[in-house]
Amino acid sequence: MRKLTTVLALGTLPAIAAPAHADDFQHWETVNISVALPEAFKISSETVLRTSDARGFYEVEQNVMLGKKLNKMVTVWLGYTFDPAYSHGNFVRREHRFRQQVSFDNFATIGKVKLSGRLRLEQRWREGISGTGWRLRPQIKASMPFVGKTTLSFASEEFIDLNNTAFQQVDDLERMRNSVTVTIPLSKKINLDVGYLNQHGFVPVGADTHDHVLTSGISASF
């Protein structure tokens, strides 16, 4: 777990500095809808469209999750992800995921900065390829007031492979995402999110990859 130890030692806020070179420039668009249900349950739907200079339109990810709020801070989730992949709009393969997640909302406050986090476990299957990939995705986020009613957030997420399959062959830390996001309220229930994300991929044989991503999205809570 040497790589993971190094990442955690960097602290709670991500480094947003650009890498030495960029492999790809991308744009991710997200629509996230969350609906409160009786008995402290909630359901969320997230759709992510991804395009890049190198691969054109390459992914549409659909996530559906059911959550149960245990208290003001902790929510547990179960969910499913449908993830078809493309190359310049041409279909390549389909991946399915089963998710289990624990979220920690505002577990600590430092001045005006609020810290949140989540721990997500995924099981992954790809059609036509044998094996189940197990992956852990811890994330930590710091949010603070920015200008007016807008909010500035920094987040860091690690992708940790727990086993090897034909499509999951990196031991330990596979990927790291560091992001900065500005959230602009459009109404009491709808927000606009815009930001930048740097994705670093650890490659066992060869040079690591770097993706520069412009992110934009709409999030709504009802």
Burial 203-221 (b: 16+ CB within 10 A, else e): eeeeeeebbbbebebebee
User: Of the ranges 16-20, 27-31, 50-54, 125-129, which one carries the lowest mean pLDDT score?
Assistant: 16-20
In this prediction the pTM is 0.85
User: CA distances (Å), 128 to each of 63, 125, 167, 170, 190, in order?
Assistant: 21, 9, 11, 20, 40
Whether 19 has a pLDDT exceeding 70, the answer reads no
The pLDDT value recorded for residue 203 is 86
DSSP-based three-state secondary structure for 166 = coil
* CB under 8 A, 24+ apart: contacts of 107-113: 107/73, 112/144, 112/145, 113/142, 113/143, 113/144
The pLDDT value recorded for residue 7 is 39
The pLDDT value recorded for residue 149 is 92
Whether 27 has a pLDDT exceeding 90, the answer reads yes
Whether 5 has a pLDDT exceeding 70, the answer reads no
Whether 150 has a pLDDT exceeding 50, the answer reads yes
Whether 58 has a pLDDT exceeding 50, the answer reads yes
At position 96, the amino acid (one-letter code) is H
Residue ranges and CATH numbers for the domains of the chain are: 2-11+29-221 (2.40.160.40)
